[in-house]
Amino acid sequence: MKVLKFGGTSVGSAQRMKDVAKLITGDRKIVVLSAMSGTTNSLVEISDYLYKKNPDGANEIINKLAMKYMGHVEELYSTEEYKQKAKELIKSHFEYIRTFTKDLFTLFEEKVVLAQGELISTGMMNLYLNECGVKSVLIPALDYMRTDKNAEPDPVYIKEKLVKLLADNKDADLYITQGYICRNAYGEIDNLQRGGSDYSASLIGAAIGAEEIQIWTDIDGMHNNDPRIVQGTSPVRQLHFEEAAELAYFGAKILHPTCILPAKLNNIPVRLLNTMQPDAPGTLISNAIEKGKIKAVAAKDNITSIKIKSGRMLLATGFLRKVFETFENYQTPIDMVTTSEVGVSVTIDNRKHLEEIVDDLKKYGTVTVDEDMVIVCVVGDLEWDNIGFEARIVQAMKDVPVRMISYGGSNYNVSLLIKASDKQRALQALSDHLFNNK
């Protein structure tokens, strides 16, 4: 059985829901849906008004969103019976959201409000499939998707509950479920954070031993560079799980960095496909590697580099420990690290505690900060004995000033730190030199 996930843009209108319905009918499968595009942002805005104790502002957004959904109902369903069922479904969810305008609003209530988007979209899709004569059934994510006391998914619980739900509905052709939402270890409604619908699909695929996990978006697979700012990009047809994870972490927005780990561990291939071009081959992610091939380039913005230089570092034990403990004390992750005999340079993407970190680091040496930087990462099979790939990368960057270079922590990634003002020029040069043979 396959698991198919459709993002918010893929179910963002009545017509797109109809298009998705055509794609999913046929073989027996589990379909994971996000909220309709724009819904989660509106629910966040409603929550913001409620935190500020402004029920009138919240009700105004609630009414707008409810009217938008009622418009979708008129377009999506053809019979009065199903139009009425869908209107009752939508009305019940929005009436529930309105109950939160009357009482104390906390993070717990916010998570309940945010869950309504997925509950509405899956309810609407299931009704539409039933109207079309498809034997589909709604499998509520809140009945099986759970995190443990460390806020990590509980795979044993998920598998046990999901397998039972599928067995209880074994006559169904399609199983519709929600992405993103779950319960925590205490039974409260929670979520898997943004990008969590991809994670849901991967966890479901791992739980049932799926044949394949498909992530459907509005882009034809993962491109070899950022098509928004680089000319001549093309989809990458095959990626190793590690290559995909590097690209996702360093800025390829099509995939959430954490989502493919359950699939990787269970050796389940993940295919990225385009709802707007369903016949396009997309990108296949698996444990297979294409030897010696550079696959893609990605960039991570809003980076700050920090250099700590100290004559005392020479042959001194404990220096690096003190530096890294400083970042740990402020719960600030480090992206890149380069070292020399007298100093160390690191990069961070969270500036929240930058001032305190710099003050603490001044105990150990002279500190220099460079802001508004970008990490460019080149991804592929970059084993150290694959001769020549470093030269190709450096040659492509010959006209771009590079602040740091990092290689060796991974066999799949070379990272370069540059100024944000050089980003477009660097990405285009890498594409031209590595992929377009210019």
Compute the distance between CA of residue 350 and CA of residue 256 in angstroms, rounded to an integer.
Answer: 18
Q: Is 7 annotated as a binding residue?
A: yes
Q: Is 45 annotated as a binding residue?
A: no
* CB distance 390 to 405 below 8 Å: no
Q: Is 217 annotated as a binding residue?
A: yes
Q: How many CB atoms lie within 10 A of CB 235?
A: 18
Cβ burial of 42 (10 Å; 0-12, 13-18, 19+) is: middle
* CB distance 401 to 419 below 8 Å: yes
Q: Is 300 annotated as a binding residue?
A: no
Distances (CA, A) of 355 to 69, 263, 326, 361, 420: 46, 40, 12, 10, 21
Compute the distance between CA of residue 322 and CA of residue 342 in angstroms, rounded to an integer.
Answer: 15
Q: Is 8 annotated as a binding residue?
A: yes
Q: Is 40 annotated as a binding residue?
A: yes
Q: Is 25 annotated as a binding residue?
A: no
Helix H or strand E segment including 56: helix 55-76
Cβ burial of 167 (10 Å; 0-12, 13-18, 19+) is: exposed
Cβ burial of 334 (10 Å; 0-12, 13-18, 19+) is: middle
Distances (CA, A) of 202 to 10, 151, 206, 260, 265: 18, 17, 6, 6, 10
User: By three-state DSSP, how is residue 83 classified?
Assistant: helix
Parallel, antiparallel or unpaired: strands 136-138 and 174-178:
parallel
Q: Is 196 annotated as a binding residue?
A: no
* CB distance 20 to 48 below 8 Å: no
Q: Is 423 annotated as a binding residue?
A: no
> Quick one: DSSP state of residue 313?
G
User: Which residue ranges make up the annotated binding site for ATP?
Assistant: 5-8, 217-218, 228
> Which residues contribute to the annotated binding site for substrate?
40, 118
Residue ranges of the binding site: 5-8, 40, 118, 217-218, 228
